[in-house]
């Protein structure tokens, strides 16, 4: 069976992230991507996770506790991802963005195009050759289409000599399934 966007995002990161690497979860939410990344980079690596909602940090701490996982290699940061360059100064192998609102949380708190694109640009500035930035774009909510269109324009204009940009989506499914974009740095 074909991977859905979430499964494929993890596949794309599993292929390139090694123990000891530094990575970013730009939208921590309930912590599932943070947990996944923390397992990939292991105790010698580092995960920087961002969210504007305190509830996300609480949910993530609870998830790690529930899974008996330590947060030793994780930095939970209560800040917008457009502050990435204030917190992450070392080269990164990967970053993941899950755009939209916190599932089970406040649906009025959503990601916005200007800060999302600024965060993607800041992640690109830190990205190692061969590294990947994954954007899982949910766009069924108010404001979602606008963010998707602005991101698509931004990603489509990246120089093909430096980046390979992929769009992965199911075109025959109802209810706006997420669209995955992947930016890989070539050189």
For the CA atoms of 49, 50, 54, 55, the dihedral, rounded to the nearest 10 degrees, stands at -70
- Give yes or no for residue 118 binding ligand SAM (CB under 6 A): no
Name the one range near ligand SAM by CB under 6 A: 50-58, 120-128, 139-147, 155-163: 50-58
- Give yes or no for residue 80 binding ligand SAM (CB under 6 A): yes
Whole-angstrom distance, CA of residue 123 vs CA of residue 133: 8
CB 165 within 8 A of CB 154: no
**Measured from the CB atom, is 117 or 158 closer to ligand SAM?**
117
- Give yes or no for residue 49 binding ligand SAM (CB under 6 A): no
- Give yes or no for residue 4 binding ligand SAM (CB under 6 A): no
Name the one range near ligand SAM by CB under 6 A: 9-17, 26-34, 158-166, 179-187: 26-34
Nearest approach, Cβ of residue 19 and ligand SAM (Å): 21
Nearest approach, Cβ of residue 142 and ligand SAM (Å): 14
Nearest approach, Cβ of residue 140 and ligand SAM (Å): 12
- Give yes or no for residue 111 binding ligand SAM (CB under 6 A): yes
Whole-angstrom distance, CA of residue 161 vs CA of residue 187: 8
- Give yes or no for residue 115 binding ligand SAM (CB under 6 A): yes
- Give yes or no for residue 53 binding ligand SAM (CB under 6 A): yes
**From the CB of residue 152, how many other CB atoms can be counted at a distance below 10 Å?**
16
**Measured from the CB atom, is 48 or 101 closer to ligand SAM?**
101
**Residues near ligand SAM, by CB under 6 A:** 27, 29-33, 50-53, 56, 80-81, 98, 100-102, 109, 111, 115
């Amino acid at each position: 069976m074909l991977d859905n966007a979430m499964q494929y995002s993890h596949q794309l990161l599993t292929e390139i992230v090694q123990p000891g690497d530094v990575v970013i979860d730009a939208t921590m939410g309930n912590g599932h991507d943070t947990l996944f990344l923390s397992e990939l980079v292991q105790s010698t690596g580092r995960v920087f996770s961002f969210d504007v909602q305190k509830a996300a940090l609480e949910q993530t701490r609870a998830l790690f506790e529930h899974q008996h996982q330590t947060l030793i290699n994780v930095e939970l940061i209560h800040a917008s991802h457009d502050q990435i360059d204030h917190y992450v100064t070392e080269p990164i192998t990967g970053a993941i963005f899950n755009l939209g609102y916190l599932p089970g949380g406040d649906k009025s708190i959503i990601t916005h195009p200007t800060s999302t694109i600024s965060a993607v640009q800041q992640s690109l500035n830190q990205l190692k050759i061969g590294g990947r930035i994954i954007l899982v774009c949910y766009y069924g909510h108010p404001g979602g289409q606008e963010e998707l269109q602005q991101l698509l324009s931004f990603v489509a204009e990246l120089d093909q000599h430096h980046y390979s940009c992929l769009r992965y989506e199911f075109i025959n499914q109802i209810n706006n399934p997420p669209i995955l974009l992947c930016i890989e740095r070539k050189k």
